[in-house]
Structure 1
Amino acid sequence: MTRPLRKRWVALGALASLGVAAWLLRPPSADDILASLDVPPAPVLSPDEALAAFRVAPGFRVELVAAEPLVVDPVAMDWDDEGRLYVVEMRGFMPDIDGAGEERPSGRVVVLEDEDGDGRMDRSDVFLDGLVLPRAVAVLPQGVLVGAPPDLWLCRDAVAATPRDRHCDDRVRLGDYATSGPNPEHLENGLLPAIDGWIYNAKSRRRFRFGADGFEVGATAFRGQFGIAQDDEGRLFYDHNSAFLYADAIPAEYPLRQPATAGRLAKPGVGVDLAPGAEVFGVRVAPGLNRAYTDGSLRADGRQRGPTGVSGIAIQRGDQYGPEHVGDAFVPEAAGAVVAQLRVARDGEREAADDLRATHVLYPDPQWGEREWLASTDERFRPVDAKVGPDGAIWVVDMYRGVIQHAHYVSDYLRAYALAHGLETPGAQGRIWRVVREDRSIARRPPPLATRAQQLAALEHPNGWVRDRAQRRLAVDPSP
């Protein structure tokens, strides 16, 4: 009887030792991490100070395009054929930590202009105001489309307006837009004019176009959350707040019109997750996440782990970065104060046409080991959109604010953190940045597209932005 009892005690002792060892080797809890952090202050930085806070991939340089007071609370942008920049200002977003006053018509669209050709905007004119949380803009041959809940507006006079008369005086309501609920984080956005002639949206099952019989609304697959882009083949790319990159390997309309797949929630070749499990690699501790108190939200060093604020997307279709970057996705993550680079597999690297995947490209960092393509130590850097500009460089929309989480989801933890660190105020900031490759030239003005000969020649341009503009002009008036 004695020997079995001794074995039992030995076994129990071994289990206890293993338990103690497992406890000692356990990953630190969120409470442990938060308690250990030395949180740096997050004051409002001047544009020059904010510029110095960036860390960008080797060989690239960040340039300031515009800042307050020329632009405030920007969330979306588009250019006209002359390179003037139309920016949506969501000035009513989160006036305080409770979002009180968001219903006020303080939103607007402004036109920014670089008058001396130095790459920095010198002039800002109010194009359209009196809007409630506007969220999308597209400059087309037919006019300027503006998505401002509950309306989709077409400003028709903008096509002929002079640089000194950039105000929407002749607008027509085309229909409803972004009316599915009160939360601005989950409403239609995008207004992407694609090469198939349709205008696509994120967080939406609708697409639009100007046809022979006027403005049309068509059905399409539901896509993404905030931001949508296309590549040179016309494939659509989008994201969700917690996932960097999705794509349609084939046009979604194919499975939508087939009886075998039309009713499926998941359709083959549509909504492909290109970078499952991709994490965030910032350059500052991140206790200001909405749920930083949950285990797994932060790394042991205090940085954000998983994405929570992915917003906007650019597919590099220009020549300013060189051919090795054509097709790469550049995706902002507003909560992490970063823009990630994802290298989408090229045609020769895929086993089949629908075999889409992407590699998350990271860069060495002397302090943190690895970091994203663009990252900031400034907690108020809030990249919410990115686009390839007329110059072929990536332009980044920076809403620049302390709190980016909407009141619908603000946790008690984030509320206390924001108030304790002064992140609720002040407001009325905003920046537009451009990231250029240093060893390649950059054109400050787009080529002219006024004549038929210029439009046809532009179809061979190395920058997709120029090709798209020429195509739209030709589609509207195809006569020789």
Structure 2
Amino acid sequence: MEYQLPKTAKKLRAKVGLDDGGAIRGGKTTPAEVKFAVYTTPPPAKASSPGGSSSGEPAFDPTNLSPQKVPADHLIVADDLEVTVWATTPMLFNPTNMDTDSAGRIWVNEGVNYRRHATRRAEGDRVVILEDKDGDGQADSTHTFVQDNELEAPLGIAVMDNQIIVSQPPSLIVYTDVDRNLRFDPSIDTRKDLLTGFNGRQHDHSLHAVTAGPDGKWYINQGNTGAKFTTADGKTYSIGGPYQGGGGVFYNDNFKL
């Protein structure tokens, strides 16, 4: 980030929070750090874009990957449940959220263009559809519903009939699959920013999950950055404030926090 201060400025106060998994990660101190610098002439390098990557980021090559796979037996479940692998790379890459449609297909947001890797895919991130067509308990079909250069590691998705709602700050995007062929074609289908103005692009504390309630309303999850957003008809609303409420409250079914 950079600020151009007025010539009359004599003091600058700044407050920074490290958003890198916390001060301790894996039992070790995180290498994240913040440096402040004041220049009387233009600095030698510009600040990077929000969550952005350095120049020269290699292009995303799906044929040259070594994904880290978590063994299914590492997941602890009840004795009457079994964990199996349903789909893995290269059918999908770095999933961030998913939803299931009425036909049992799984719709997945990908987050390849995440933070310092924000330019890996010039065409933007994707929403992909996976399906188990032969019913053997494993996905055997995958294809892209949409690839949009506005998508950068979107964190929420909900499939409601032929409307696909994607949480991508600064907007809540609605893709309508008009011809219902499960592929977004801008010449036929429609794309609309239902809400816009959510802060924190490439920020894990901003706009998250979206789902439909039994009352017919849509519910969205907004992190603790706060937000001031606008509807398509121009109405503006506010949610909380920056980091209001700290890091949140975690709850599980033993009634303990």
TM-score of the superposed pair, with normalisation by structure 1:
0.33
Residue of structure 2 equivalent to 1:5: none
Structure 1 CA distance, aligned partners of 2:198 and 2:108? 21
Query: How many angstroms does 1:118 deviate by?
Result: 1.9
Structure 1 CA distance, aligned partners of 2:214 and 2:237? 17
Task: List alignment gaps of at least 5 residues for structure 1.
Answer: 1-29, 35-42, 226-238, 246-341, 345-357, 361-480
Query: How many angstroms does 1:152 deviate by?
Result: 2.9
Residue of structure 2 equivalent to 1:75: 96
Q: Alpha-carbon deviations, 1:319-367, whole Å to 9, x = none?
A: xxxxxxxxxxxxxxxxxxxxxxx227xxxxxxxxxxxxx247xxxxxxx
Out of 343, 346, 365, the residue aligned to residue 253 of structure 2 is 343
Structure 2 CA distance, aligned partners of 1:55 and 1:150? 36
Residue of structure 2 equivalent to 1:115: 133
Q: Alpha-carbon deviations, 1:159-206, whole Å to 9, x = none?
A: x52xxx421121221344473124421211111211222211122679
- Whether the 8 Å CA contact 1:77–1:88 is kept in 2: the answer is yes
Query: How many angstroms does 1:56 deviate by?
Result: 3.3
**Superposed counterparts of 1:120-139, under 5 Å:** 120-130=138-148, 131-139=151-159
Q: Alpha-carbon deviations, 1:120-149, whole Å to 9, x = none?
A: 111111001022222221111351112223
Query: How many angstroms does 1:150 deviate by?
Result: 3.3
Q: Cα–Cα, structure 1 residues 100 and 206, in superposed 2: closer, same or farther, change >3 Å?
A: closer
Residue of structure 2 equivalent to 1:168: 184
Letter aligned with residue 140 of structure 1: M
Residue of structure 1 equivalent to 2:118: 101
Structure 1 CA distance, aligned partners of 2:169 and 2:208? 10
Query: How many angstroms does 1:221 deviate by?
Result: 6.3
- Whether the 8 Å CA contact 1:108–1:128 is kept in 2: the answer is yes
Residue of structure 1 equivalent to 2:204: 185
Structure 2 CA distance, aligned partners of 1:156 and 1:91? 24
Structure 1 CA distance, aligned partners of 2:138 and 2:76? 21
Q: Cα–Cα, structure 1 residues 83 and 240, in superposed 2: closer, same or farther, change >3 Å?
A: farther
- Whether the 8 Å CA contact 2:168–2:201 is kept in 1: the answer is no
Residue of structure 1 equivalent to 2:160: 140
Structure 2 CA distance, aligned partners of 1:66 and 1:194? 28
Residue of structure 1 equivalent to 2:249: 243
Q: Cα–Cα, structure 1 residues 217 and 127, in superposed 2: closer, same or farther, change >3 Å?
A: farther
Residue of structure 2 equivalent to 1:202: 221
Structure 2 CA distance, aligned partners of 1:217 and 1:119? 46
Letter aligned with residue 54 of structure 1: L
Structure 1 CA distance, aligned partners of 2:249 and 2:196? 25
Q: Cα–Cα, structure 1 residues 101 and 88, in superposed 2: closer, same or farther, change >3 Å?
A: closer
Q: Alpha-carbon deviations, 1:59-99, whole Å to 9, x = none?
A: 332121211111111111111111111111111114xxxx1
Structure 1 CA distance, aligned partners of 2:176 and 2:167? 14
Structure 2 CA distance, aligned partners of 1:64 and 1:126? 21
Aligned residue pairs total 184
Structure 1 CA distance, aligned partners of 2:203 and 2:163? 25
- Whether the 8 Å CA contact 2:174–2:194 is kept in 1: the answer is no
Structure 2 CA distance, aligned partners of 1:117 and 1:147? 31
| Higher RCO (CA-CA < 8 Å; seq separation 6+) | 1
DSSP-derived class of the 1:146 partner: strand
Q: Cα–Cα, structure 1 residues 52 and 44, in superposed 2: closer, same or farther, change >3 Å?
A: farther
**Superposed counterparts of 1:11-410, under 5 Å:** 45-46=68-69, 50-94=71-115, 99-102=116-119, 104-130=122-148, 131-141=151-161, 143-157=163-177, 160-161=179-180, 165-169=181-185, 170-177=189-196, 179-203=198-222, 243-245=249-251, 342-343=252-253, 358-359=255-256
Letter aligned with residue 343 of structure 1: D
Q: Cα–Cα, structure 1 residues 102 and 45, in superposed 2: closer, same or farther, change >3 Å?
A: closer
Structure 1 CA distance, aligned partners of 2:141 and 2:227? 37
Letter aligned with residue 118 of structure 2: G
- Whether the 8 Å CA contact 2:169–2:200 is kept in 1: the answer is no
Structure 1 CA distance, aligned partners of 2:159 and 2:246? 25
Structure 2 CA distance, aligned partners of 1:45 and 1:119? 22
Structure 1 CA distance, aligned partners of 2:256 and 2:82? 23
The alignment yields a C-alpha RMSD, in angstroms, of 3.8
Letter aligned with residue 101 of structure 1: A
Percent of counterpart pairs with the same letter? 23
Query: How many angstroms does 1:242 deviate by?
Result: 5.8
Higher helix share: 1
DSSP-derived class of the 2:82 partner: strand
- Whether the 8 Å CA contact 1:153–1:171 is kept in 2: the answer is no
- Whether the 8 Å CA contact 2:159–2:165 is kept in 1: the answer is yes
Structure 1 CA distance, aligned partners of 2:238 and 2:198? 17
- Whether the 8 Å CA contact 1:126–1:167 is kept in 2: the answer is yes
DSSP-derived class of the 1:67 partner: coil
- Whether the 8 Å CA contact 1:200–1:206 is kept in 2: the answer is no
Task: Name the larger-Rg structure.
Answer: 1
